[in-house]
Amino acid sequence: MSEITPDLVRHLASLARILVTDQEVEQLAGELGIIVDSVATVTKAVSGDVAATSHPIPMANVYREDVILPSLSQLQALSSAPDSAEGRFKVNAILDED
Amino acid sequence: MTEITSSSAAVLAGLISSKEASSVEITTAFLDRLEKLNPKTNSYLYFNRENSLAQAKRADQQLAEGKTVSPLHGVPIAVKDNLTTTDAPTTAGSKILEGWVPQYDATVVRKLREASMPILGKTNLDEFAMGSSTEFSAYGPSKNPWDLTRIPGGSGGGSSSAIAGHLAPLAIGSDTGGSIRFPAAMTGSVGAKPTYGAVSRYGLIALASSLDQIGPVTNSVMDAALLQDVIGGHDPNDSTSLPNSLGSMVQSVKEADVKGLRVGVVKQLSSDGFQPGVKACFDDTIKKLAAAGAEIIEVDCPSFEYAVAAYYLILPAEASSNLAKFDSVRFGLRVTPDGNPTIENVMAATREQGFGPEVKRRIILGTYALSSGYYDAYYGSAQKVRTLIQQDLAKAFTQADVLLTPTAPTTAFKIGEKVNDPLAMYLNDIATIPANLAGIPGISVPNGLASEDGLPSGVQILAPAMQDGRMYRVASIVEKLYVDQWGASLIARVPDLEAL
């Protein structure tokens, strides 16, 4: 049985910046428990020394010449922003006042 | 259905270049049809007649000036709505991006424009391409033209239903674990996932960056080859883009010859767990290839058993990181709770309201897989399984030139049948996932109707990395064996949408 408890779901959701209701927490704990139990079989697949693959096609670092190419203007970059002011993205306070 | 809308892209390109039909006429025929029938299939999330026709007009003007810029010049196309377009909203099937019009075109979209291919519209998908039925689209599921009560596959069910319903002659899909090939199998169309890096991912809204690949969804193998030739090639804007050309896929299709071909049948994907009718279609394909002169070899890929498990750790891990950018700051939805919320409260409320259930599930699962204490056991092991799968495939490809499997374990299921059972949904991709984990090319070609339900089945052809040409060559052989038997492609038997 997996260790996906409602408290763990709450913690993970807060790390992922997703607000969850109590009902969602209960449901997710059940669903994720089943999924985690199932995917945990990977731990049995590997024995001995096997290299990890993070990228399917072997590639070294990819470089290009350091030349300036056209890019988005400030106006374009801001055009889809929910809120902006003085040429910047505008957001709510980062720190709580308390 | 007009003669135009039932024609292959290759035929349409011929009509245009011989001036028997204009791009405007052809584009108009598809627009007329999709405006009438999209309410039935929900294939398109967005289309704009005026814009598409303006592009068609430009294509015709070039032809009048004697300029043909590509082999598909003037042939219209549908684009999956997770590719950015500067002249159409791009939602990725999510409420969090509702109404967003990007500031740049995806490289593939730019290439379509440079090839003078009018874009008909943007097609539906599971939210951020997470799903195999389109039921997780925030804008409602697409319907399968073979039976409107059934799913057209996913995530690219908008593209597959548009192709099977003749609402577009060509479509673009993206495939992270089977999102091109599975929908193709569900709808009797052709869907190809090229080698990882063969087509630029620039402007594709990333799901899992080490797995995502863009490819064609079409009604024939030749059409898919034509389209891959247009969209493939190196792109400096995608650092994972392959530096060298893979050659012409069209040329490979033309060279199709079964002589000396060694066909591998993957032991782990040829017996248990497949619907009997799907299995029967697959056995028939193998029998046909053997009769045509191919050598059939059973190959052993023991690590495939762990492919789905590894995939559902790697994908959520990468997705949880990729989707962190939807934070209400630079674009997309912003939900501000009452009171005096901090930006963190705003982000959490926005993501709560903007993301659907499957996206939340996978982000939280990925956050778990990457968290300290679990990282080595889960994500680390999954990456090692990836190595084992590559090793299995490398060995199999010393024994056989290509590998064949059924594309999907079943035919199209009913809308609603699996939507509340995530694990059952994940198993739809059991045969397609290994190709993404290993980066190799795979294509689904229709191989009949399952006897128990009369719905399309597909056979998947896998080739080694960079050998996309070989994949197309064998796909063309398989397609021809069936067209010779049926006298037409499977898609010719799709029910008349207008009568449904």
d(C-alpha A39, C-alpha B304), whole Å: 13
On whether residue A61 sits in a domain, the answer given is no
d(C-alpha A81, C-alpha B332), whole Å: 7
Residue B11, token pair as written in the block: 């035929």
On whether residue A38 sits in a domain, the answer given is yes
Mean pLDDT of A69-95: 94
Residues of B in contact with A46 (CB under 8 A): 381, 384-385, 388
A85 Cα to chain B: minimum distance (Å)? 12
Residue A15 has pLDDT above 80, yes or no: yes
Here the ipTM equals 0.94
Are B340 and A97 inside 8 Å of each other by CB?
yes
Are A72 and B329 inside 8 Å of each other by CB?
no
User: HSE on the CB side for B368, CA within 13 Å?
Assistant: 30
d(C-alpha A77, C-alpha A73), whole Å: 6
Provide the pLDDT for residue B273.
86
Residue with tokens 């073979």: B146
Cβ atoms of B221 and B236 within 8 Å: the answer is no
On whether residue A86 sits in a domain, the answer given is no
d(C-alpha B394, C-alpha B224), whole Å: 26
Residue B46, strand partner residues: B122
Specify the number of domains making up chain A. 1
Mean pLDDT of B79-100: 97
Percent of chain B with pLDDT over 70: 100
| B373 band by pLDDT with thresholds 50, 70 and 90 | confident
Provide the pLDDT for residue A58.
83
Provide the pLDDT for residue A74.
95
Are A52 and B363 inside 8 Å of each other by CB?
no
Are B371 and A12 inside 8 Å of each other by CB?
yes
Mean pLDDT of B183-203: 98
- Average pLDDT taken over every residue of chain B: 96
Of A2-11, B109-118, B192-201, the poorest mean pLDDT is in A2-11
Please report, for the domain that includes residue A35, its CATH number: 1.10.20
Burial grade of B372 (CB within 10 A; 0-12, 13-18, 19 or more): exposed
Torsion on CA atoms B416, B420, B421, B426, rounded to nearest 10:
70
Provide the pLDDT for residue B328.
96
Mean pLDDT of B380-385: 96
Tell me which residue of B239, B291, B414, B3 sits closest to A55, measured CA to CA.
Answer: B239
What length is written for chain A?
98
| Domain range enclosing A13 | 6-42
Task: Tell me the pLDDT tens digit for each residue of B402-455.
Answer: 999 999 999 999 999 999 998 889 999 999 999 999 999 999 999 999 999 999
What is the secondary structure of A70-97 as a DSSP string?
A: ----HHHHHTT-SSEETTEE----SS--
CATH numbers and ranges of domains, chain B: 9-265+399-499 (3.90.1300.10), 305-383 (no CATH)
On whether residue A72 sits in a domain, the answer given is no
Provide the pLDDT for residue A2.
63
Percent of chain B with pLDDT over 90: 95
User: Going edge to edge, which strands form the sheet with B402-406?
Assistant: B44-47, B119-123, B77-80, B170-175, B213-218, B190-193, B442-449, B456-462, B402-406, B262-266, B295-299
Q: How far is CA B85 from the centre of its chain?
A: 18
Q: Which residue of A has its CA nearest to B86?
A: A76
Residues of B in contact with A79 (CB under 8 A): 103
Residues of B known to be catalytic? 80, 155, 179
Residue A1 has pLDDT above 60, yes or no: no
Mean pLDDT of B229-242: 96
d(C-alpha B402, C-alpha B331), whole Å: 44
Q: Number of Cβ pairs closer than 8 Å across A and B?
A: 181
Percent of chain A with pLDDT over 90: 70
Residues of B in contact with A83 (CB under 8 A): 334
d(C-alpha B95, C-alpha B335), whole Å: 12
Provide the pLDDT for residue B368.
96
Cβ atoms of B186 and B408 within 8 Å: the answer is yes
Provide the pLDDT for residue A3.
83
| B1 band by pLDDT with thresholds 50, 70 and 90 | low
| B205 CB-near residues (< 8 Å, 6+ apart) | B82, B83, B84, B90, B92, B128, B129
B125-148 in b/e form (b: 16+ CB < 10 A) is: bbbbbbbbbbbbbbbebbbbbbbb
Task: Tell me the pLDDT tens digit for each residue of B274-297.
Answer: 999 999 999 999 999 999 999 999
Preferred mutation among A7, A18, A75 to probe B, highest tally of B CBs within 10 A: A18
